[in-house]
């Protein structure tokens, strides 16, 4: 039923109810029981099941777009700075001496990543929303060519070696990298990377590309004989305790010429690496990271035990050491961009949550490494006293610094101050501002923009340890389960929930106990997570406005948007809406997917029991999750026990409680999953 149809029907129904008086109440109850399959319902409104369509939801409406700077690129002569403005579909050229914008070019598709060739003639642009790389001619500042790559490309780098030239692209949406030849501009191969590859850098000789990923996999890639980690890991069984495995994200090392993977190095208990820089003078790659201890109870925030910022040093063989950026009582959350000068003297790391650039003296880091024994190096990331030996300054920026780049002579650092629409120019000798490139007014009049500032700000947590973004990058998931209420290790692990596509899905949390976002993000957050004062009411309202404006993630390739379902997806759709088995046995209403996951949001917003109670759960009823963009939020179920959608109906299906699946063949399961991936 569409919205108008429903209004008519409900108007008719209302008149009818008025006529029969109390009879209407009983009609409603019977009706709701019938269609939900629930014997008892409380607090159910008609639009739990009759939303009509999603057009009226805040995320479906147009909202203001800002000149939020993403990637930066400087020309080899240091005269020009290119700035990607993904929200405006523009690439801007600025003059570095005068800090003035010179020209703007339209580049459709959310330009986010940039790479400039040595001659400064071709600018390669990763267009995140349209799954393509655009080639911009810098003389005309005009798009010349375009090539399709994997989903949601966010970063790219040129590799020049005696073997030829390559362009390597990190596709954050399809978990792979596109390896392209330049003439002709063509994709050669698309090797798999870690989950959500987000940045890359090429070795000085052009032969290897190092790619870091934002999200961790729970099982780290293990070499035989590796017995580290928790003792009770039981992968590939129905035992939900495999969620107790500490996470690891992947540093993927590729041969640029062939695209073959040389190494997959784990970054243990670390994730959210958003940048990587080559340090040829030392034979290193440097990547910021968030050290995460999601398995300890969140009450440990008070002891600084949940999250801290650091960076990884990898040698060219992919051997990694992690070092801290934080201090024992002062944290610099959400390390994002990193830049290193040509001589390998200093690294500059932007902390998106704390609005500072940490300046790292790499000579001191090297000196420390030389004298530390292997065991000390391995545990260095835990020692927050260490950073004082090599972090030589913390320089304030504006709100949410993300991408950074140095001028070729190393004298100027350019910083994308994302939520203030400007690029800050720092003089690296004095570490003082040397100007700024204003792109717009900062967007302070837009509540969504103000809400994003609250969302990304670490100032709301104890000692500024983390922000909302530390667990919900891009308001999405980080793929981990956290222990919010328990006292012991792993007492009450709850899988992170995406905040994209949240509007209209109340109540919130896996237990469905929070009726509004104000409650979820206000008092609860203050009590459980921040260990400090609650977010002030005005900020909280902006925060909620921001959350409601986040659309569900896109999980199908740009070129396929608006196209009909494939035959397999369509067979899957029929299974999803099936009311009987092929031979005619009816599927009880309460066990049909569509009853609980009712379109258009694919939830009826009611609690249900589907046989997923774990040994530590106090109930078998959980909030029915919406399924928009579900392909992008693995792992699944309230404790994250299902690593893939398939596992929901293989490893973790019990007695046809979660939909009736026992009659499906393997192919039918594949069809159903193919359909779910289109939602
Ligand atoms: C638990 C889910 C649920 C709730 C809550 C619910 N409905 Fe329905 N309703 C359905 C389903 C399913 C149908 C079948 C048609 C469809 O799929 O839209 C339906 C159909 C209807 C129809 C068409 C006639 C019929 O009975 O088939 C009317 C009128 C209606 N609902 C009114 C209401 C009103 C008014 C309320 C609030 C008091 C309400 N519904 C609450 C699930 C629900
Ligand atoms: C330490 C990691 C972490 C941080 C920090 C964090 N969240 Fe969450 N968030 C989670 C987890 C895990 C869940 C699922 C918990 C549950 O359902 O009980 C969740 C659930 C939510 C939900 C409910 C979503 C739904 O569909 O039910 C909202 C809303 C939310 N978070 C918003 C925020 C906001 C706003 C902030 C910052 C003020 C924040 N979160 C900070 C981990 C985090
Ligand atoms: C009785 C209501 C009900 C029915 C019927 C049902 N589901 Fe669910 N579904 C749920 C609940 C409740 C959860 C969350 C369970 C948990 O977290 O332990 C869930 C979880 C899921 C998830 C994982 C969501 C996430 O974010 O982790 C997917 C996907 C899903 N269901 C798809 C389906 C499909 C496909 C069918 C039909 C084969 C189906 N469901 C039938 C209630 C239902």
Give the binding-site residues of ligand 2, using a 6 Å CB cut-off.
466, 468, 470-472, 482, 484, 494, 496-497, 499, 502, 505, 508-510, 517, 520-521, 525, 529, 543
CA distance 428 to 348: 10
Query: Is the Cβ atom of 31 under 6 angstroms away from ligand 1?
Result: yes
Determine the Cα angle at 270 with ends 171 and 158, to 5°: 35
Query: Is the Cβ atom of 193 under 6 angstroms away from ligand 3?
Result: no
Determine the Cα angle at 464 with ends 297 and 446, to 5°: 115
Q: How far is the CA of 501 from the centre of ligand 3 (A)?
A: 17
Q: How far is the CA of 638 from the centre of ligand 2 (A)?
A: 13
Reply yes or no on whether the pLDDT at 477 is more than 70. Answer: yes
Reply yes or no on whether the pLDDT at 571 is more than 80. Answer: yes
| Cβ neighbourhood burial of 226 (10 Å; 0-12, 13-18, 19+) | exposed
Indicate which residue's Cα is closest to atom 9 of ligand 2: 496
Q: Are 423 and 357 in contact (CB under 8 A)?
A: no
Region of poorest pLDDT, from 1-10, 194-203, 454-463, 468-477: 1-10
Q: What is the mean pLDDT of residues 138-156?
A: 97
Q: How many CB atoms lie within 10 A of CB 373?
A: 7
Percent of the chain whose predicted confidence (pLDDT) is above 70: 88
Locate the ligand 3 atom nearest the alpha carbon of residue 633 and give its number.
26
Confidence label for 630 from pLDDT (cuts 50, 70 and 90): very high
Q: How far is the CA of 241 from the centre of ligand 2 (A)?
A: 22
Confidence label for 3 from pLDDT (cuts 50, 70 and 90): very low
Q: How far is the CA of 52 from the centre of ligand 1 (A)?
A: 11
Confidence label for 524 from pLDDT (cuts 50, 70 and 90): low
Region of poorest pLDDT, from 108-117, 194-203, 230-239: 230-239
Query: Is the Cβ atom of 624 under 6 angstroms away from ligand 1?
Result: no
Backbone angles phi, psi at 174, to 5 degrees: -115, 10
For residue 31, the ligand closest to its alpha carbon is: 1
Indicate which residue's Cα is closest to atom 33 of ligand 3: 593
Query: Is the Cβ atom of 642 under 6 angstroms away from ligand 3?
Result: no
Q: What is the mean pLDDT of residues 350-354?
A: 96
Q: How many Å separate Cα 641 from the centre of its chain? A: 19
Q: How far is the CA of 631 from the centre of ligand 3 (A)?
A: 13
Instruction: Out of 459, 525, 607, 625, give the residue to mutate to test ligand 2, the one with the largest number of ligand atoms within 8 Å of its CB.
Output: 525
Confidence label for 5 from pLDDT (cuts 50, 70 and 90): very low
State both tokens at 411. Answer: 């004298």
Reply yes or no on whether the pLDDT at 16 is more than 60. Answer: no
What is residue 22's predicted lDDT score, i.e. its pLDDT?
62
Query: Is the Cβ atom of 32 under 6 angstroms away from ligand 1?
Result: yes
Q: How far is the CA of 36 from the centre of ligand 3 (A)?
A: 14
What is residue 225's predicted lDDT score, i.e. its pLDDT?
35
> What are the residues whose beta carbons fall under 8 Å from the beta carbon of 349, sequence distance 6 or more?
288, 311, 325, 335, 336, 337, 338, 357, 358, 360, 404
Answer with the residue of higher pLDDT: 303 or 329: 329
Angstrom distances, CA of residue 647 to CA of 175, 238, 570, 669, 673: 19, 9, 21, 10, 10
Helix (H) or strand (E) holding 142: strand 142-148
What is residue 461's predicted lDDT score, i.e. its pLDDT?
77
CA-based nearest residue to 499, from 604, 409, 628: 628
Instruction: Out of 15, 26, 35, 608, give the residue to mutate to test ligand 1, the one with the largest number of ligand atoms within 8 Å of its CB.
Output: 35
State both tokens at 343. Answer: 């001589």
CA-based nearest residue to 512, from 35, 3, 34, 38: 38
Cis peptide before 569 (omega within 30 of 0): no
What does R_g of the chain's alpha carbons equal in angstroms?
26
Locate the ligand 1 atom nearest the alpha carbon of residue 48 and give its number.
5
Q: Are 580 and 12 in contact (CB under 8 A)?
A: no
Q: What is the mean pLDDT of residues 234-245?
A: 56
Domains and CATH numbers, the chain: 1-53 (no CATH), 69-220+244-450 (2.130.10.10), 564-676 (1.10.760.10)
Q: How far is the CA of 519 from the centre of ligand 2 (A)?
A: 12
For residue 628, the ligand closest to its alpha carbon is: 3
Indicate which residue's Cα is closest to atom 19 of ligand 1: 35
Reply yes or no on whether the pLDDT at 227 is more than 90. Answer: no
Locate the ligand 1 atom nearest the alpha carbon of residue 595 and give its number.
12
Per-residue pLDDT reduced to its tens digit, 276-321: 999 999 999 999 999 988 877 666 666 666 788 999 999 999 999 9
Locate the ligand 2 atom nearest the alpha carbon of residue 470 and give its number.
5
For residue 578, the ligand closest to its alpha carbon is: 3
Q: What is the mean pLDDT of residues 581-590?
A: 92
Reply yes or no on whether the pLDDT at 199 is more than 90. Answer: yes
Q: Are 122 and 135 in contact (CB under 8 A)?
A: yes
CA distance 123 to 138: 7
Per-residue pLDDT reduced to its tens digit, 380-423: 998 888 999 999 999 999 999 999 999 999 999 999 999 999 99
Query: Is the Cβ atom of 35 under 6 angstroms away from ligand 1?
Result: yes
Locate the ligand 3 atom nearest the alpha carbon of residue 607 and give its number.
12
Q: Give the chain's mean pLDDT.
A: 88
Inter-residue long-range contacts of 151-154, CB under 8 Å, 24+ positions, other chains counted: 151/554, 151/557, 151/558, 152/128, 152/554, 153/112, 153/113, 153/126, 153/127, 153/128, 153/178, 154/112, 154/113, 154/126, 154/128, 154/198, 154/199
Per-residue pLDDT reduced to its tens digit, 489-518: 556 788 999 999 999 998 888 988 888 888
Cis peptide before 507 (omega within 30 of 0): yes
3-state SS string for 196-207: EEEEEEECCCCC
Residue 509 exposure: Cα atoms within 13 Å on the Cβ side: 18
Locate the ligand 3 atom nearest the alpha carbon of residue 595 and give its number.
5
For residue 572, the ligand closest to its alpha carbon is: 3
Reply yes or no on whether the pLDDT at 57 is more than 60. Answer: yes
Per-residue pLDDT reduced to its tens digit, 76-120: 999 999 999 999 999 999 999 999 999 999 999 999 999 999 999
Q: What is the mean pLDDT of residues 129-148?
A: 97
Determine the Cα angle at 194 with ends 191 and 198, to 5°: 95
For residue 486, the ligand closest to its alpha carbon is: 2
For residue 7, the ligand closest to its alpha carbon is: 1
For residue 516, the ligand closest to its alpha carbon is: 2
> What are the residues whose beta carbons fall under 8 Å from the beta carbon of 401, sequence distance 6 or more?
336, 337, 350, 351, 352, 355, 356, 357, 415, 416, 417, 418, 424
Query: Is the Cβ atom of 602 under 6 angstroms away from ligand 3?
Result: no
Query: Is the Cβ atom of 208 under 6 angstroms away from ligand 3?
Result: no
> What are the residues whose beta carbons fall under 8 Å from the beta carbon of 227, sequence distance 6 or more?
none
CA distance 513 to 505: 13
Q: How far is the CA of 576 from the centre of ligand 1 (A)?
A: 19
For residue 540, the ligand closest to its alpha carbon is: 2
Q: How far is the CA of 461 from the centre of ligand 2 (A)?
A: 14
Q: Are 673 and 646 in contact (CB under 8 A)?
A: yes
Determine the Cα angle at 16 with ends 14 and 19, to 5°: 110
Q: How far is the CA of 26 from the centre of ligand 3 (A)?
A: 29
Locate the ligand 2 atom nearest the alpha carbon of residue 294 and give its number.
1
118: left (phi over 0), alpha (psi -120 to 50) or beta: alpha
Locate the ligand 1 atom nearest the alpha carbon of residue 38 and give its number.
1
Backbone angles phi, psi at 521, to 5 degrees: -95, -10
Reply yes or no on whether the pLDDT at 63 is more than 60. Answer: yes
What is residue 33's predicted lDDT score, i.e. its pLDDT?
84
Q: Which three-class secondary structure state does DSSP give residue 58?
A: helix
Q: How far is the CA of 485 from the centre of ligand 2 (A)?
A: 13
User: Where does 21-152 have alpha helices with state H?
Assistant: 22-36
């Amino acid at each position: 039923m569409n919205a108008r149809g429903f209004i008519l029907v409900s108007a008719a129904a209302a008149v009818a109810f008025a006529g029969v008086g109390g009879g209407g109440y009983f009609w409603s109850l019977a009706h709701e029981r019938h269609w939900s399959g629930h014997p008892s319902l409380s607090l159910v409104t008609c639009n739990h099941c009759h939303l009509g369509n999603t057009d009226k939801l805040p995320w479906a409406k147009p909202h203001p777009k800002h000149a939020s700077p993403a990637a930066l690129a400087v020309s080899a002569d240091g005269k020009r700075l290119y700035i990607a403005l993904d929200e405006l579909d523009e690439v801007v050229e600025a003059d570095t001496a005068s800090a003035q914008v010179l020209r703007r070019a339209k580049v459709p598709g959310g330009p986010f990543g940039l790479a400039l060739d040595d001659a400064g003639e071709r600018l390669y642009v990763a267009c995140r929303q349209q799954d393509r790389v655009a080639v911009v001619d810098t003389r005309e500042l005009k798009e010349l060519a375009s090539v399709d790559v994997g989903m949601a490309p966010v970063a790219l780098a040129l590799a020049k070696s005696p073997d030829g030239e390559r362009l390597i692209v990190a596709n954050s949406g399809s978990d792979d990298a596109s390896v392209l030849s330049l003439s002709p501009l063509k994709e050669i191969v698309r090797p798999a990377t870690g989950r959500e590859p987000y940045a890359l850098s090429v070795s000085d000789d052009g032969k290897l590309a190092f790619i870091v990923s934002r999200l961790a996999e729970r099982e780290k890639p293990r070499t035989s004989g590796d017995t580290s980690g928790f003792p009770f890991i039981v992968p590939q069984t129905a035992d939900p305790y495999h969620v107790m495995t500490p996470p690891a994200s992947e540093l993927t090392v590729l041969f640029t010429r062939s695209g073959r993977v040389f190494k997959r190095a784990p970054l243990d208990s670390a994730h959210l690496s958003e940048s990587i820089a080559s340090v040829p003078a030392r034979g290193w790659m440097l990547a910021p990271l968030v050290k995460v201890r999601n398995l300890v109870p969140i009450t440990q925030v008070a002891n600084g035990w949940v999250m801290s910022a650091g960076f990884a040093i990898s040698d060219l063989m992919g051997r990694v050491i992690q070092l801290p950026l934080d201090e024992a009582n002062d944290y610099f959350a959400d390390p994002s961009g990193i830049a290193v000068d040509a001589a390998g003297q200093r690294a500059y790391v932007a902390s998106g949550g704390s609005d500072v650039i940490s300046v790292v003296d790499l000579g001191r880091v090297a000196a420390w490494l030389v004298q530390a024994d292997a065991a000390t190096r391995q545990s260095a990331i835990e020692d927050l006293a260490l950073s004082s030996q090599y972090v030589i300054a913390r320089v304030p920026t504006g709100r949410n610094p993300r991408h950074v780049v140095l001028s070729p002579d190393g004298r100027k650092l350019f910083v994308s101050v994302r939520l203030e629409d400007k690029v800050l120019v720092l003089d690296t000798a004095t570490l003082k501002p040397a100007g700024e490139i204003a792109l717009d007014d900062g967007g302070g009049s837009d509540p969504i923009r103000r809400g994003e500032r609250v969302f990304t700000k670490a100032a709301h947590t104890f000692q500024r340890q983390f922000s909302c973004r530390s667990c919900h990058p891009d308001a999405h998931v980080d793929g981990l389960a956290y222990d919010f209420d328990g006292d012991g290790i792993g007492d009450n692990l709850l899988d992170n929930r995406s905040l994209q596509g949240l509007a209209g899905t109340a109540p919130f949390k896996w237990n469905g106990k929070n009726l509004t976002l104000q409650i979820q993000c206000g008092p609860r957050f203050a009590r459980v997570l921040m260990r400090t004062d609650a977010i002030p009411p005005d900020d909280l309202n902006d925060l909620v406005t921001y959350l409601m404006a986040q659309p569900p993630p896109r999980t199908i390739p740009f070129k396929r948007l608006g196209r009909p379902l494939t035959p397999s997806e369509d067979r899957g759709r029929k299974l999803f809406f099936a009311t009987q088995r092929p031979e005619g046995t009816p599927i009880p209403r309460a066990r049909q997917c569509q009853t609980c996951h009712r379109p258009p949001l694919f939830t009826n917003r009611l609690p249900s029991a589907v046989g997923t109670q774990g040994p530590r759960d106090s109930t078998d009823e959980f909030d029915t999750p919406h399924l928009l963009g579900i392909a992008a939020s693995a792992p699944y179920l309230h404790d994250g026990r299902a690593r893939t959608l398939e596992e929901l109906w293989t490893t973790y299906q019990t007695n046809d409680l979660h939909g009736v699946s026992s009659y499906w063949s393997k192919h039918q399961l594949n069809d159903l999953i193919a359909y779910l991936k289109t939602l």
